[in-house]
Each structure stands twice: as structure tokens, then as C-alpha cells.
Amino acid sequence: MPKPTPAFMPDRASAVPMFEQICVSFRARIRSGALETGARLPATRALAQDLGVARATVVTAYEQLVAEGYLASRRGSGYTVCAMGEVELSPGARATAPPELTERGDLLLEAGQPDMRLFPHRAWAKCVARLCRTRPEDMLSGCGRFGHPELRQAIATHVRDWRGIAARPDQVLVTSGATEALDICLHALATAEGAVGVEDPGFPPIRRFAEAQGRCTRDLALDPQGAELPTPGDGTDVVVLTPSHQYPLGGAMTAGRRQDFVRWAAQSQGWIIEDDYDSEFRYAGRPIPALAGVDGQGRTVYIGSFSKIFSNSLRMGYIVAPDGLIDRLAQAMRAKGARASAMPQAALAEFMQQGEFYRHLRRVRRIYAERHRNLIESLRAGFGDVGHVVDHQAGMQVVLHLHAAFADRPIVAAARAEGVGAEALSAYSRRAGACNGVVLGACLNDLDEQAEALIRLRRAISSTG
Ligand SMILES: Cc1ncc(COP(=O)(O)O)c(C=O)c1O
């Protein structure tokens, strides 16, 4: 019996490597539906013989397609075609899919959560697969204690281009997120005699970390210019600020107030910890340069995160240390046993260097801008009797400031029972009665899901009235 002709014939004269030609052929057939979900691919040995190539070439191609999510490989049953939805929803599928978030049991409008359905699975998988193929040792042992050298370089370039901070790679310390970075900075800088100034309202772990380390904290209230300066003589020697985008209220600190803090640090020999957790998400105007970029005295430690702009499950963030603090921060990292996961670092570096990261960032920024605007307009149109919103044209959350007749905590409890992950603004503050609002995530859900969430929020408010 004649052998069946292989589905394509390799072009031996082509500059495209043989394994890539095999990949291209299978990708096209899977995408077109010619190979259906669950279909078994020819055995590697058989295909290698048919094509007249080494078996290793076919194995490499199949493994690449596994990494890209086209194929699944199971011991004993070879390679089979995956459902495409397991990799990435096509635009059509996304439009018709039911709100999966509620199906997954997640809450709608959860503050600070990126929409992980937008994660660039395919580009990321390619990058990881390429690295596994070409320099696997980099993923296992190429990472130094303070981060992979290429990632430290990529971060130094990122903060220079996006945040206006001139930093060398050795000033960058990779951590497992901004939260860990905050803990490390407090460990390195807060003193037993001094006090840590924290914004109120602010990111709750900061106060917790300082107090767990036996440090006193002082509240820095917010006025229209941003956080207020520490009261002279109150012992504050470290302040933690979110100047680009105050958390959770959302405003940016004015240039004048930034200068005041830089002067305060220089005069009091204090330190500024700048938590710049989501500043890449600015939807109008130019990005506001980081405070660390304008502090010519080297008294600002900068913290960034990949949780919002890329993936919160990657658990990756970083510190950019001023020259005089590199050793102290590195020592604090050692003392705390802090160390970011090594495996994804080389891949992330390559993802950034090749521009994929920025393609993704531009894409999600566009989508989030629309969601952010929609949430604000919907709240203004439908909740004016309950409270008001301020549009800061930045960030991932929106605060509905409630009129005095409404109390945030019962509303939030009722909203959570309805599947809406709202947070009470008062939970971010230690000053009784200073804050009353509902913090809502603007990025997690598409416009249909937002509409559904607001119906539920309205029901929750009515039920508490
Ligand atoms: C103000 C602020 N800082 C830091 C973080 C933490 O970032 P990461 O996930 O990188 O630990 C968050 C997360 O929501 C935040 O809101």
C-alpha cells in the first residue's frame, strides 16, 4: 500500500528552520479547523521518516506547539490538539462567552485586579519556549540573588523610559512583588527611635509591616496637593508615598508638594519610599515622572510592580535603590530571606527587550482606559443620588464617595453578597469618620460585566437603605 503523503513538504532551500516549517504547517491546520480538538498528531518517528528529517526536529516542533498551547502531550498517548479556548479566546468567542468571572466564583469590580483574560498567553508561551530551547540554564541557575542580570537591565531601561529615573542595573533589586519590596524597604530604613509616615487613607500592608517590625507609624492626611508633610518634631524619619497615583483615592501629588518632600528628606536626613504600583496606567496627558527621578539628593527609594501591568500571579516587583542604599537594601533582602522566583525572570527580560511587553501594555492601557471611563460615566449617570466620583484619568480603581446618609461598610457587605468585590474606603483609614466610600475596580470587567455589576451594586445599596 502506498504511504499517505505528508500534509506538507518541507522546503529544504528555505532559510526558515525545519522545525519552524513544521510548526507553521500545524498551526495553520489547527487554526483552520482542519485538525480538530482532540485529534492525534502523527507519531514523531513516523512523521520524521515521512518528511525525511531527524526525529529530534519533529519533537522540537511538537514541544514548541505544546508551549504555545496548540498541543497537549500525554505520556503514552502522544500529542493531541488542544481546544483553542484553552490558550486564548478568539475575539468572537470572547464576545459571546458568558461572564466567566462570576462562573469562576470571582467577584465583579474587584479593586486593583487586572483582567487576566487579556494576558498575552501566546507571545509569552513563545518566549518561554524559545528560552527553554536555546538557553534553558538561564531559567534554572542564571539568576543572581537580586535578580537576573538581563531583567535588572530591562527594568533599568523601563524606569528610565517610562518613569524618568536614571538607574544602573545594579541599583535594581528584583522582589516577589511591590508588597515584599515595601517590607524590605521598611526593614532597611525604619529605625527604633523614629516613626514611619503613612498616607491615610493608604495601602493597609504598609502600616502592618511597620508595626510588625516594632516601628511607630504616623498618619499623613491628604489635602488637594497630596499627602501632607510630617509634623515637625514628631520623629518621622521615613515616609511611604504613592505620589503618581494615590492609593486608594487616585490623585497625583502636585510638583510643589513633591519638592516639599524632597526638601524634607534632605533637611531631616529622612527617607522617602515611593510606591509606584500602577503608574503606567495613565489614560490622559503625559505620564507623571516619578518622584525618585526628581530627587537629586538620592533619598528616595523607588518601588515598581509587574502585578498590575502584566500578571498578579507572576509575583514580581522591584526596588530601584539610590546609590547610597544598595548595600543596605541588599542586606535587608538577605536578612528577610527575600528572593523572587528565578524561573520567569529571563523570560520576562526577553519579553521586555523584544517589545512584546510594551505591545501588551499599550493594548491593556487602551482597554482599561475605556473601562475606566465607562465606569465613571455609569456611576455619574446612575449613582448621583448616592455619592460622587472624581475622575483622575489614571489607575485601576474608582471611588464612589458616599453622601453622609450612606455608610460604606454595610453597603460593601451587601455588594459582596451580590458578587461585587467592592471595598469600603473607611477600611483604608485609621481616622474615624474621615472616609466613606466604595472602592471599585475599573479594569477587571468588560463593559457588559460592569453594567451587570452596577445593577447588583444598586440592589445592594437599596437593601441597606
Ligand atoms: C498601593 C499598592 N502598593 C503595592 C501593591 C502591591 O503590589 P504587588 O502585587 O506587586 O505586591 C498594591 C496592590 O494592590 C497597591 O495597591
Residue 303 Cα to ligand 1 midpoint, Å, equals: 10
Q: How far is CA 384 from CA 65, 374, 380, in A?
A: 52, 15, 6
Check residue 7 and give its pLDDT. Answer: 65
Q: Sheet with 317-320: list strands edge to edge.
A: 172-175, 317-320, 300-305, 271-275, 236-241, 195-200, 216-223, 226-227
Rounded-to-integer distance, Cα 329 and Cα 256, Å:
29
18-86: CATH number: 1.10.10.10
Name the CATH code of domain 100-120+361-464 (choices 3.30.465.10, 3.90.1150.10, 3.40.50.2000, 2.40.110.10): 3.90.1150.10
Check residue 99 and give its pLDDT. Answer: 39
Residue 7 Cα to ligand 1 midpoint, Å, equals: 50
Check residue 34 and give its pLDDT. Answer: 83
Q: How far is CA 294 from CA 255, 258, 299, in A?
A: 10, 9, 11
Most informative mutation of 175, 185, 247, 396 for ligand 1 (most atoms within 8 A of CB): 247
Check residue 97 and give its pLDDT. Answer: 39
Check residue 94 and give its pLDDT. Answer: 39
Residue 311 Cα to ligand 1 midpoint, Å, equals: 12
Do 390 and 399 contact (CB within 8 A), yes or no?
yes
Q: Sheet with 397-402: list strands edge to edge.
A: 387-388, 397-402, 437-441, 423-424
Q: Does the 142-354 domain belong in CATH 3.40.50.720?
A: no
Shortest-distance Cα residue to atom 3 of ligand 1: 277
- CA neighbor of 117 nearest in space, from 137, 91, 155: 91
Amino acid at 459: R
Domain(s) of CATH 1.10.10.10: residues in the chain? 18-86
Do 268 and 152 contact (CB within 8 A), yes or no?
no
Amino acid at 452: E
Check residue 101 and give its pLDDT. Answer: 41
Check residue 223 and give its pLDDT. Answer: 95
The ranges of the chain with pLDDT < 70 are 1-7, 67-68, 84-105
Residue 459 Cα to ligand 1 midpoint, Å, equals: 30
Shortest-distance Cα residue to atom 7 of ligand 1: 178
Domain(s) of CATH 3.90.1150.10: residues in the chain? 100-120+361-464
Q: How far is CA 50 from CA 1, 39, 43, 267, 462, in A?
A: 15, 19, 11, 77, 69
Residue 178 Cα to ligand 1 midpoint, Å, equals: 5
pLDDT, one tens digit per residue, over 171-203 is: 999 999 999 999 999 999 999 999 999 999 999
Check residue 276 and give its pLDDT. Answer: 96
What are the pocket residues of ligand 1 if the criterion is a CB atom closer than 6 Å to any ligand atom? Answer: 112, 177-179, 203, 242, 247, 275, 277, 305, 307, 312, 317
